Amino acid sequence: MKSKILFSTIFFFTLFFSYAQIKTVEVNAFAKEIKTTQKPQILDVRTPEEFAGGHIDNAANIDWQNENFVKNTEKLDKNKPVYVYCRSGKRSLKASEKLEELGFKKIYNLDGGYLQWNAESTKTAK
C-alpha cells in the first residue's frame, strides 16, 4: 500500500513539474521578461521576408510554416524560457503549442505579435 502511495505521489509531481507552461503576455510583460532574462531565446516564427522587414532585437528567425520548423528548433535550449512571436499572435500560439509538445518548459507568446510590439513603440531592430 505504501509503495502505491509513493508511486502515485512521484508520478503526480513528475507530471506537475515537467509540464510545459505557455503564457500569452502583453508587450510590456514580454519586453520585461526579455530584458530580465540572461541571453533570452527570442523566436520570430514569421517568414524570412517578414523578418527582414523588421524584428525584435536578438530574435532568431525560425519560420513556423517551413517544413523544417521542428528540426530548426533543436538548437534551442528546452530548459530555458523561449519568447515567441509572429505578426499578430496566431502563428506564434501554434508554434508555442508545438514547442510545448517538443518538451520546452516555459514559453512566452507575444499577445498581438509584432504588430502590437510596433504599435506600442517598443525598441526594434531593422
Give the strand order in the sheet containing 82-85.
21-25, 106-110, 82-85, 41-44, 59-61
Q: DSSP secondary structure string, 67-96?
A: TTHHHHGGGS-TTS-EEEE-SSSHHHHHHH
User: Is a pLDDT exceeding 80 seen at residue 26?
Assistant: yes
Which residues on adjacent β-strands are paired with residue 55?
125
| pLDDT at residue number 122 | 55
Residues 53-65 have pLDDT tens digits of: 999 999 999 999 9
Of the candidates 42, 45, 86, 107, the residue annotated as catalytic is 86
| pLDDT at residue number 17 | 47
What Å distances lie between residue 106 and 4, 61, 89, CA to CA? 31, 19, 17
Task: Read off the DSSP letter of residue 97.
Answer: H
Its CATH class, for the domain covering 20-119, is alpha beta
Q: What are phi and psi of 94, to 5 degrees?
A: -65, -45
86 in active site: yes
Mean pLDDT score, 104-122: 92
Residues 64-88 have pLDDT tens digits of: 999 999 999 999 999 999 999 999 9
User: Is a pLDDT exceeding 50 seen at residue 13?
Assistant: no
Domain ranges within the chain, ordered by starting residue: 20-119
